[in-house]
Structures are given as C-alpha cells and as structure tokens.
Structure 1
Amino acid sequence: MSSAAAEATSPPPPNPALILFARGVIARLEQWPALRIAVEQGWGGPESRTKQRWLVSELVDAFDQQQQSTPTPDAEYVALMLAQVLEDEFGASVEDGSVEVVAADVVALWGAGEDAVREWERKAEGARAKKVDVREEVVDGDEDDDDDEGEWEDEDKDEDEAPQLLRAAGDSQQRPSKPEPVVDDDGFTLVQKGRR
C-alpha cells in the first residue's frame, strides 16, 4: 500500500478549536448539578457515565462546521438538546432554569480561547471535589396513592383528625389554644386571619 493511499483512507486530523471546545463542554457539564446527580445516582442505568460522554460528543458534533453546512447552534437549540437528553436518557425533567444557563455557557464556549476553557476546567475540578446535595421531594396526590385510598376509607372513619402531640414530662409551658371557628347565621364557617 502506498503512502498516498494510506493518507486517503485516514481521517483528517482533529480541529484544534474543536478539541478546545470539547474540553470546555466537558468541564461545563461536570459542573451542572442536574446532570451530576443523574449520573451519580445512575438515573441513566449502569451506562450513565457513558451517556454523559455521549452528550458531550453530540454537542461537539452540533458545532462541528466541517461536518455540517448548517449555521452554528444557538442557546435555544442547545437548551432543547440538553433538556431532551436529560428526559430521554436519564428520566429527569429540570425546571430550575439551569438548562438555559448551561446552554448559554456552551454557546459562549464556542470560539472561546484557551484561558476561558482553562477557567471552566478549574471550576470543574473544584466541583468534582464537592458532593451534590440531593433531596427528594414527595408530592402529595400521586397517582399511585389514589389506588390505595379505597382500602382505608371504610376503616375508622372517626380517625380523620390529626393526632395530638403529647407534652413531654416537665414541659410546663402552656400552648395558646386555637380559637373556635365562627359560624354565621347561614351555617358558613368564617375564615379568620391567622396571627403572625
């Protein structure tokens, strides 16, 4: 095989600007708490880390002008891409506005210099050292809860009141009693303003 034939089949050398952009995208995504939680908690299954790397490659490919004749993606396009990947691959829906912030940062990284990318990498290093605080929020009225309600309705209908707290031994403070509801002549209970 001649050297000319070998050169014709080998891929072109990577674009240095694209490599720099990829480094910046990796660093920026490593700082995004929503994606970090999804990866660390394995929301994307055992291949969650692989999915994170795949997301980086998708973003880099979207900006690669050598492969496409389309204009450079804008923040809206990147935000839609990020939101869809989180939803489809990790089962996460982010509503804290961070998708738009990350998308704007990714767009700003395109064409940014070495100093800007190194700054993002420095921040990513600091973010890796910190653990993301995860709190699960339980929402009342889930569909799963509706199925069980019928089983409990028949039992102890008079137990609808919340249990009263017992005072601890030695607790001599008297709590102010709750005022009785005011009922008007038509039998309606009047709403009273609470004390603040």
Structure 2
Amino acid sequence: MATPSAPSALSEPAQTQFDLGIWYTLFNWATLTVAIQNQWGGPDSSDKRDFLAGALSERFAAEPSTDQDDIEIMLLQFLEDEFGVRCEDETEVGVAQDIIKIRQEVGERNFVTVEALKQRWESRRGREVNTGNVQVREVEQEGEWDSVDEESESDVEMEDAPVVKAPREKPVPEVDEEGFTKVVGKKKR
C-alpha cells in the first residue's frame, strides 16, 4: 500500500516519538517476543529488537516513501535472518500497519498512539509479555554456526522443530532497582 504522497522529514520531537512508537510496537509483537524469550537470536536477542527498531527508523529517514509492504518484508527478513523464525501467521501485517499509522500521526504532531503503546508497555513492566496462543517454529539456517554448535559432534539432525505453544506460567522475574533480572535455577522455583 503506497501512501498518496511522500511524508516530509520529521521534526526532532516527532522523530523521537516515532522511534519510541516503533520500539513499543516491536516490544508488543508476540512473535518477536517468543523468539527473544527463547534466545533464538543468541544471548543478545533483546538487543536485536533495538537494532531492528533503529533500522526501521533509518529506513524511513533514508526513504520517506517507505510503505507497509516494505516494512512487512523487512520484518519477515529480519526474523528469519536473525532468529531463524519464519512468520506464517501474518502478524507482521499488523505490526507494519501500526508503524505506518504512527509515522503518519507523528508527522501531524499527534502522539496519541505512541502514548497508548507506552502506557501498555509500562502497565506490565517487570512481567513477561503475554504471548497468547502464538505458535512459532524455528527454521533451519544454513551458514556459519557459533563454536558451541561446532564442538558438538553428536548433534542429531531434525527435519522440523516442534511447534512452540504458549509458554507455561512462569514465576514473575525479580527485577532490582537497576533493572537487572535475578536468575533463579529450575530447582529453586
């Protein structure tokens, strides 16, 4: 879906709100959240969400005529490349729509959607994102693997990874005043 006219460059406050809107939208995307929670992108999985938010923002700055289809393709490619996830539930469509909507709103100095997303994020701070009935399946990636995988010679090849259903109820993680989450062993739960 192409926009009728290319949006102009955003003012600094509007750009800040747009960047926040992108981040909140990605944070609320259950498919990406499942991939991050399971660290399918490695130990720096949550940093990859921040990178994606920045890449989306830069895309709009470089190409103001970026449309919903461009964003959908970018989201799908990122999930597959960085997390080994092939999104087949079309949730990327809603995420792309939200990002386009936020871009249009902040261009008109309307920050209502960004504020609503911020309040949604703050309302559950310290608790895991509800992933509902999201079903995610890892896809096999070709290419280089990290040294941990190369050391294991007894790996069993799998055709398809099992479908991951909504995670079991987990205890609410303890977050200290500096924002770090306390790690608890399985036996202590």
With normalisation by structure 2, the TM-score equals 0.59
2:40 aligns with 43
SS across alignment from 1:54: helix
Q: Percent same amino acid among aligned pairs? A: 31
Q: Write the letter of the residue equivalent to 1:79.
A: E
Query: Could you report, residue by residue, the CA deviation over 1:18-47 in whole angstroms, capped at 9, with x for unpaired residues?
Result: 111011111111110000011111010011
Measure, in 2, the Cα distance between the counterparts of 1:85 and 1:92. Answer: 9
1:132 aligns with 131
The structural deviation recorded for 1:126 is 4.1
1:75 to 47, 68, 75: 68
The structural deviation recorded for 1:71 is 3.7
Cα 1:62–1:15 shift into 2, 3 Å: same
1:110 and 2:103 equivalent? yes
RMSD of the alignment, in Å?
2.4
Q: Write the letter of the residue equivalent to 2:66.
A: P
Query: Could you report, residue by residue, the CA deviation over 1:155-185 in whole angstroms, capped at 9, with x for unpaired residues?
Result: xxxxxxxxxxxxxxxxxxxxxxxxxxxxxxx
Higher helix share: 1
- Give 5+ residue unaligned stretches, structure 1: 1-13, 138-142, 146-196
Answer whether contact 1:31 1:127 (CA < 8 A) is retained: no
1:96 and 2:93 equivalent? no
Q: Write the letter of the residue equivalent to 2:131.
A: V
2:19 aligns with 22
Measure, in 2, the Cα distance between the counterparts of 1:80 and 1:106. Answer: 13
Measure, in 2, the Cα distance between the counterparts of 1:47 and 1:97. Answer: 25
Q: Write the letter of the residue equivalent to 1:41.
A: N
With normalisation by structure 1, the TM-score equals 0.57
Query: Could you report, residue by residue, the CA deviation over 1:96-126 in whole angstroms, capped at 9, with x for unpaired residues?
Result: 1101111111111103222221011122334
The alignment covers a number of residue pairs equal to 124
Measure, in 1, the Cα distance between the counterparts of 2:136 and 2:66. Answer: 34
2:28 aligns with 31
Measure, in 2, the Cα distance between the counterparts of 1:84 and 1:115. Answer: 29
Structure 1 or 2, whichever has the larger Rg, is 1
